Amino acid sequence: MGRKGTRNAVLGKVARLGLSEGRTGARTRREAAHHVAPEPPPDGVATILSVRRMDCRWPYGEPGDAAFSLCGRPSERGAFCAAHAAIAYRPTPLSVEGLIRKACLTRCGRR
């Protein structure tokens, strides 16, 4: 017997028919965090040419627009200042195994 469709085709059909909604392992959508971006610094903002390596690169405006600029505050995490990093970076959810490893409940990596 040959296959009639790919795994993804079958999963799509199951989802469209609503057959997976009663599953206990079905994922639920998370609410998006609502962050308010801080206002540009009052002492001026950085441009593409004036931003330095350790300055925040959060964009203000559209890249093709004449008023386009970057935040320019000192970066604290990656390429962004603390306020913009809170918006840009999401914490990764840990699995049960990840939580156990983090808590070091099983042999702490020793063999």
Of 74, 84, 76, 83, give the one whose Cα is nearest residue 51: 74
- Which letter does DSSP use for residue 49 in this model? T
Mean pLDDT of the chain: 75
Distance CA 60, CA 30 (A): 27
What's the whole-model pTM score?
0.48
pLDDT tens, position by position, 47-67: 888 888 899 998 888 888 888
